Structure 1
Amino acid sequence: MAVGWAGDGAVQAQIDSTVDDAVARARSSLPSGESLEFCAECGEPVPEARRKAVPGVRLCISCQQAVDTQHGAVSGYNRRGSKDSQLR
C-alpha cells in the first residue's frame, strides 16, 4: 500500500517518540531523597501519609496544587496530524 513520503511504521514511531518524551519529562520532575516534615513554601507540616507515599516530597498538598496549577499540563500531542484538527 502506498503511504506517500512516510515509510512503513512512521506513524507508530512518532507516537512512540511522543510517549517516550512524556515519560522522560514526568520522571525528571519526580522528587527524590528524604521528604521534608514541613513545607518548603509555607512552613506548614507535611502529613506523614504524604511523606510516605511520595518519597522526597517538599511541599504540602495545597502548595503542590498551586504549583501544579501554575505549570499546567504540557501536551506533546501533534495536532497537525490529527483528524480532529483537519475537521475544524
Structure 2
Amino acid sequence: LEPWLSIDWSAQPDWEWESAANDSPLALMNQWLEAVELSRSITNTAIAVGGIEQLAKRKWPNNESPSLRWIILHMIEEYARHNGHADLLREFVDGETGE
C-alpha cells in the first residue's frame, strides 16, 4: 500500500513520524479518508469471503492466529486509545474537557 511500499525504511527509519510535516491539513485528511475506505473495503471482502471467525494468515510468535473478529476489536480499542490521547492533548492546550 502506498505510500508505505515506496519508502526506503533503511534510509528513512523515522519516515512515519516526519512525513506529514509539510503536508496541509486537507491533504492529511484526504489521505486518512482514503485509508479508511481501503480498510473498510478489505474488511468487508474478508468477512464476505471467510466470515468474521476466520483466522489470520500471519501467526503470532506462539504459532497461533487471531481471528478477524479479534483483529477488528483490537483496532477499535487502539483507535479509541489514540483518540483519548488526542483529547488529552487538546485539553492541555485549551483547557476544555468533555462531558
Task: Please give the TM-score of this superposition, normalised by the length of structure 2.
Answer: 0.32
Flag the structure with higher helix content: 2
Higher-Rg structure is 1
Task: Please give the TM-score of this superposition, normalised by the length of structure 1.
Answer: 0.35
